[in-house]
Structure 1
Amino acid sequence: RSNHWGDMILVNKLVYVLRHPRRWEVVVFKWPRDTSKNYIKRLVGLPGERLQIWHGDVYVNGKLARKPRWARWALARRVWAQNRDSLREKPPWQVLSGDWDLRKNAYRGGGDNDALISFNLPITDFTPYDDPEAESDDGNPVADTTITFKVKARERGRAGWVVAVLGDPQHHVELRLGVGGATTRLYYNGMLVATSPFHIGADGSHSIEFSFVDMRAEVWVDGKRILRYDINARHQTPDEVWVRLGFEHAEGTLTDISIYRDIFYYPDARSTTGLEGEEVKISKDGFWVLGDNTRSSQDSRVWGEVPTDNMMGRAFVVFWPPWRWQVIK
């Protein structure tokens, strides 16, 4: 959730006495243009670094700044949720193959070969949520996505897989969760890149988190990470985004499906067209901060770096008004 004008926030002023500020933390500081005013933003660039915003991502010293899991979730924007999609008459999924019963709260599918469905709403940096009548503007497609779901599956005649695909035609990852003894596999652009001994038993039900964000694929099952793979490539904004689910040589039920996209940073706070920003050199006594509302935030893209002496501490709790109480991540 975003912070609002009038929120009262607790700030840990001791933490930066004990250690240096860390990337992706939300910090409070004195505004460089008027130190009588306090600002709150997310810390993205550290002293002495070279920083570039390129097609929605942050690059530091020429390398992609990947978010740890806590920051990935802090910056995730929900696109769609199965159990909250009450306004559409039909689920926003297209059947690509196999037999499916797409009821609102439980998708049942399977096939002797493959059975796949594809999410068919646009995933852009402007995403109308839960409103089938809303019109998207000219937002940029965002292929950095995370999907969570619960699955119960069994094989059909032989060992099979639960299948999930994220990405775009240029860069995509495919997860095959083993069913009935099959090995779990991860593919990048059709090439096998990682495996795990995990598999779903005949009566097993599991919570899955599958992400492809910052060119990193991660798989978590029941709160434990079973796979991670980093891809060394620069990712450009795609023309289309793939989110697909299904089964191969298996059948089962998918519930509690939710789709999230990553934040999409712009190099210029006043424009959403130029996607390849110039590299910025941060001084040895400065920090670079960005707002989570990247389309309209007044931040370091407008008024430059924050001097070390202006840093006050890490924001950690909104405590007023009480109905907006939340831990800041």
Structure 2
Amino acid sequence: MGKKTKNKRRGPEPVNTTPLPKKRAEKDPRKHGQATRETVESLVIAFVLAFLFRTFQAEAFVIPTGSMAPTLMGRHADMHCPECGQRYRINESELTDSDVDRIREMRGGRVSPAQIMAENRGLAGQCPNCRRINWLGPVNGIRESQDAVLERSYSGDRILVNKYLYSFTDPQRWDVVVFKYPGDAVQNYIKRLVGLPGEELEIKGGDLFVRENDSDEFKIVRKPPKKIMAVRQLVYDSAREPAELRQAGYPLRWTPANDGWTAEEAVNNKRVDLAYQAKATDDTSWLRYSHIPANAVTWATAERTGIDLGPDAKPQLITDYNAYNTTIDGQQLRRQDGRVALPTNDQGLHWVGDLIVDAEVDIASDEGKLVLELVEAGCRFRCTFEVADGSAELTALPFGSTAAQPIAACGKTGVRGDGSHELRMANVDSRLTVWVDGGVLKFDKPTDYDAQELLASDGGILPQQDDANPGDLSPAGIGAEGLEATVDRVTLWRDIYYIAEKNTKDDVTPNRGWPPSDFLMTTSPGEVAVKTDNGPVTWYDMMHDPAAWDAFRARRSQTFKLGEDQFFVMGDNSAASSDARLWAAGNGGKGGIPGGPYLERKMLIGKAVCVYWPHSFDRLPGTSIPFPLFPNVRDMRLVR
């Protein structure tokens, strides 16, 4: 079945316990060159723009809060998980500089700003990949924190803003803009511009819809590929599988669904090196993802000997979880009587069906099929690569159907014959996008689809699953038919989820005391729950139990009408952003009350262009050699 002669000398099929080969196939040097060019380009642009200070064409700003995280960072701690190695940032403190000044004034100036920040700083945060809670330093009374290295606090990203661009051109949707807060023209804020003058905007199911006239239907707003990449958030990276969980019997998230695939594992210090091997089969064999994130209890149990964690792993839906929002501070520890756990509110309250999958694949055959699959509302979206001729086809298989519907085709993808490739597929904003080795594929037809036609069940878009089809509990897969291949790394991401909350002067939210939510929130009994026509349903049941999924019909949508020269802005960190949706009480009671849920053109300062100075390092990277203010070149970047 398309197997090359040279492959016959590879020896017997690997088994699950076979160590990984020490030497992998060499990466394409063009990819390294591309990454180098992008880094150099970002640096050149950053430093060129810095010179524009002298001509007053650009101005520097510091990001004050985490409302745009992880796109742009406010005050934060920069963490590296000691178990899986994942780098992530958490909200180090809710206090802004103005908050510190106000507290210092209330206390008669007897304390320094540093003391105030120390009293209110975060103590721990959760890794987005392995979900271990990591400490920012030793905490009295918390045994597991005593070996933690003290992490310092960093101020927000420093960005350059083009102040005069909007004097010559109109703002564009998805621009990241700096503006004067409408309730207090002294304060500068930064958000993403998503609504344009004269539009009516609808937030529904995590997506944005617009219409220009009352007689028109709302149409979904789709992000271009660069914006998709800018706002995506990590779900899981197979290259960062923690050894401690595996040794305690916790299952892998990517597992073979049948005999066509095998998983190779080798413990490498604190991580497990993983590779997945596909052998040539007559039918499509599948490697599938199950979302089984660990939690604080899982990690505490893993430290005990003789306990098998496998039976406790239960798949759940992917949510709008954001590691930046997982900060645990002293007040929270006191509320939980010292128990170390992440509150439900910080685990993401909403199911996210828009996903992106990346795969590093080494194909060892000159024919056969390789398939990338993403599932939303039970519908299986697939990109099938024909290795023999290098073509690809996009299809959709709705839940409960046996016939796939063609969407579009591409005659030349570059995936032809044997070779190594970086493949990516996104199902975002009711559009399929495919990348091969960094380039976006062009298909013969638009790759947009009608979500109501393909995804809706009895008028609502809900997660789906049955005995024969895991559906949204297994929302991603890689298939192989008639070829041999190795998947060295596979990473799953989610799209940004815009929360349909509204708190304006004329429409005050009923969710007082709750984070922003699509749902009307309550407790039942003592657990976080949502209100439905059939009574409250707990968040835990909604995420884990298909019998509770009808509760997703209780999701609300919100609409906002914009007038002439009015824009709508929201933060990328929708769960922790006081933006135009919530401007009833003056950005959380700070700085006055704006005129309505909109931003007037006259309040715009400019467009964010680049992060020219992210936080610096105190020592040479990778060493213990002191070097104050060592430039953090890696995080200098354009703002997308």
Q: Same fold (TM over 0.5)?
A: yes
Are residues 1:327 and 2:560 paired?
no
How big is each residue's C-alpha offset from its partner over 1:66-114, in whole Å with a ceiling of 9 and x where there is no partner?
Answer: 0011111111001111222235425312322233222333211132322
Distance in 2 of aligned mates of 1:207 and 1:325: 24
Distance 1:139 1:117, change over 3 A: farther
Distance 1:141 1:94, change over 3 A: farther
Equivalent residue, structure 2, for 1:115? 285
Contact 2:256 2:263 in 1 (8 A): no
Equivalent residue, structure 2, for 1:281? 561
Are residues 1:72 and 2:241 paired?
no
Q: Which runs of 5+ in 1 are unaligned?
A: none
Q: What letter matches 1:30 in structure 2?
A: K
Equivalent residue, structure 2, for 1:25? 175
- Percent identical residues: 29
Contact 1:160 1:182 in 2 (8 A): no
Contact 1:83 1:256 in 2 (8 A): yes
Distance 1:34 1:124, change over 3 A: same
Contact 1:112 1:250 in 2 (8 A): no
Distance 1:80 1:315, change over 3 A: same
Contact 2:365 2:418 in 1 (8 A): no
Distance in 2 of aligned mates of 1:265 and 1:172: 23
How big is each residue's C-alpha offset from its partner over 1:238-288, in whole Å with a ceiling of 9 and x where there is no partner?
Answer: 252510112012220112311110011111164324343232111112110
Q: Secondary structure at the match of 2:576?
A: coil
Distance in 2 of aligned mates of 1:75 and 1:97: 34
Q: Post-superposition shift, 1:223?
A: 2.5
Distance 1:223 1:326, change over 3 A: closer
Distance 1:320 1:246, change over 3 A: closer
Q: What letter matches 1:10 in structure 2?
A: L
Q: What letter matches 1:12 in structure 2?
A: N
Equivalent residue, structure 2, for 1:238? 463
Q: Post-superposition shift, 1:60?
A: 1.0
Q: Which runs of 5+ in 2 are unaligned?
A: 1-69, 76-154, 212-217, 265-272, 292-316, 325-340, 398-403, 456-460, 465-471, 503-514, 520-554, 584-596, 617-631
Equivalent residue, structure 2, for 1:311? 604
Distance 1:289 1:188, change over 3 A: same
Distance in 1 of aligned mates of 2:360 and 2:181: 45
Distance 1:49 1:168, change over 3 A: same
Relative to its length, the structure with more strand (as a share) is: 1
Larger radius of gyration: 2
Equivalent residue, structure 1, for 2:297? none
Q: Post-superposition shift, 1:230?
A: 0.5
Equivalent residue, structure 1, for 2:162? 12
Pick aligned residue for 1:259 from 470, 487, 492: 492
Pick aligned residue for 2:258 from 97, 102, 116: 97
Q: Post-superposition shift, 1:209?
A: 1.3
**TM-score between the two structures when normalised by the length of structure 2:** 0.48
Distance in 1 of aligned mates of 2:224 and 2:478: 25
Q: Post-superposition shift, 1:310?
A: 0.1
Distance in 1 of aligned mates of 2:614 and 2:429: 34
Root-mean-square deviation (Å): 2.5
Q: Post-superposition shift, 1:298?
A: 0.3
Distance in 2 of aligned mates of 1:186 and 1:192: 6
Equivalent residue, structure 1, for 2:89? none
Counting only pairs closer than 5 Å after superposition, residues 131-170 of structure 1 correspond to structure 2 as 137=347, 139-155=349-365, 159-170=367-378
Q: Post-superposition shift, 1:141?
A: 2.0
Distance in 2 of aligned mates of 1:155 and 1:288: 51
Distance in 1 of aligned mates of 2:462 and 2:322: 16
Q: Post-superposition shift, 1:186?
A: 1.2
Are residues 1:50 and 2:200 paired?
yes
Deviating more after overlay: 22-31 vs 264-273: 264-273
Are residues 1:271 and 2:516 paired?
yes
Distance in 2 of aligned mates of 1:292 and 1:204: 37
Distance in 2 of aligned mates of 1:114 and 1:320: 46
Counting only pairs closer than 5 Å after superposition, residues 152-301 of structure 1 correspond to structure 2 as 152-155=362-365, 159-181=367-389, 183-189=391-397, 190-198=404-412, 200-226=415-441, 227=443, 229-234=447-452, 236-239=461-464, 240=472, 242-268=475-501, 270-274=515-519, 275-301=555-581
Are residues 1:3 and 2:73 paired?
yes
The count of corresponding residues between Structure 1 and Structure 2 is 325
Distance in 2 of aligned mates of 1:220 and 1:187: 16
Distance in 2 of aligned mates of 1:285 and 1:222: 41
Q: Post-superposition shift, 1:167?
A: 2.2
Deviating more after overlay: 110-119 vs 136-145: 136-145
Q: Post-superposition shift, 1:169?
A: 4.2
Q: Post-superposition shift, 1:138?
A: 6.0
How big is each residue's C-alpha offset from its partner over 1:197-249, in whole Å with a ceiling of 9 and x where there is no partner?
Answer: 23633322211111110010111112232236110234635252510112012
Relative to its length, the structure with more helix (as a share) is: 2
Q: Post-superposition shift, 1:191?
A: 1.1
Are residues 1:126 and 2:321 paired?
yes
**TM-score between the two structures when normalised by the length of structure 1:** 0.90
How big is each residue's C-alpha offset from its partner over 1:28-80, in whole Å with a ceiling of 9 and x where there is no partner?
Answer: 00000000000000111011111000010000111000001111111100111
Pick aligned residue for 1:38 from 179, 184, 188: 188
Equivalent residue, structure 1, for 2:40? none
Distance 1:92 1:134, change over 3 A: farther
Deviating more after overlay: 266-275 vs 185-194: 266-275
Distance in 2 of aligned mates of 1:203 and 1:138: 41
Q: Post-superposition shift, 1:311?
A: 0.3
Q: What letter matches 1:114 in structure 2?
A: T
Distance 1:9 1:207, change over 3 A: same
